[in-house]
A = this chain, B = another copy of it.
């Protein structure tokens, strides 16, 4: 009954292609298609999502860019050495596939925020040149491999917040800011989203950066009939937070404080160790409790860089709450997960779902992807369970419609 909609390949254009998540995503995709790993972690590999005609993993074609100048096999080797999340055997088996994709990875420093050149942000190519450069790469990637379409995913480091500007609310204003090279008002992720949507590519922003949020971009997405999604992948501590907080709400246990500590040692951790880069992430992490519980909660979020942990993030949360007779009690949890292992399958799930939405003609923010994000664009619901019900409802809607129409 299940058929894939198209025989041609779907492109995946990864911004931050040498990073841990992108590397793990590519290694994992090839390991699965070579039957060397299970599909654990992939939501779209279980019912009811398996009933949807999603693109097969084997049909994905990877390309992208990174500010570093290295090779995919070297970044895969580095992840292996540092985090041991896959075995030497798997690494060896997928190396040919990584080599095959190498020519589609460009080294570009003008598409993302560059921690090393932070002070010279206003130098280099103009915004218009950057947007045009990325659009050209996307077109070439699509043409070179005769891709039916390309999904663009932002996996780059968190960037500092740009200064707000009223012109960003409309597409016309946004394009004027690009033309006037207003770098203080448009961050790299804004330009990425513009370039992707302008080229007809769904754009997924897995980072805490702004990409996709601006009114002008939403206008562009609707005009071009392109779906997009973001922001900030919900992979570990915040996932647990949004799964547990409803329990306290439903039991009328008053949360007095919810203190979270995140220790991590990957590039993400290094970037976030600078206060200006973590502003957005901490806001996303803290915000969810107020919305789930319905009252403001003292909720600190600490992010500390601990290099020896590599990609293995350890989060510890203390929940101090008050029950019957106002008796104070506590719960604490320690989450020891590997960021890229947790993130990569979510990105794959969303690539498949974005491709599906595009083929169905859906446009604008994909609200049904809320369960994947700390700060889902256009969605106020933060309870992980309610968010997942939204995704289930979406799948059931499409299964129902397909059943009615096709059969």
Residues of A near any B CB (own CB < 8 A): 24, 27-28, 31, 37-43, 45-46, 84-90, 239-240, 243-244, 246-247, 250-254, 256-257, 259, 261, 263, 298, 300, 302, 304, 306-309, 314, 316, 318, 320, 322-338, 341-342, 344-345, 371, 384-385, 388
Cα A300 to Cα B342 with chains together (Å):
25
The reply to whether B331 and A345 form a contact with Cβ atoms under 8 Å apart is no
* A320–chain B nearest beta-carbon distance, Å: 5
Cα A314 to Cα B320 with chains together (Å):
11
Q: Which 4 A-B pairs have the closest CB atoms?
A: A88-B88, A41-B324, A256-B308, A333-B333
Cα A349 to Cα B243 with chains together (Å):
24
Partner of A252, one of B45, B298, B329: B45
Contacts of A333 in B (CB 8 A): 331-334
Chain B residue with the shortest CB-CB distance to A86: B325
Question: Could you give 19 example pairs across A and B, Cβ below 8 Å?
Answer: A24-B324, A27-B325, A40-B324, A41-B251, A46-B252, A240-B244, A244-B244, A250-B385, A259-B304, A261-B316, A263-B318, A298-B306, A306-B318, A306-B320, A314-B318, A325-B341, A325-B344, A331-B333, A332-B334
Partner of A336, one of B324, B330, B337: B330
Contacts of A85 in B (CB 8 A): 325, 327
Contacts of A323 in B (CB 8 A): 40-41, 337-338, 341-342, 345
Apart from A86-B325, A239-B247, 10 more pairs, CB < 8 Å: A31-B325, A38-B326, A45-B252, A239-B251, A240-B331, A302-B302, A306-B318, A308-B328, A316-B318, A329-B337
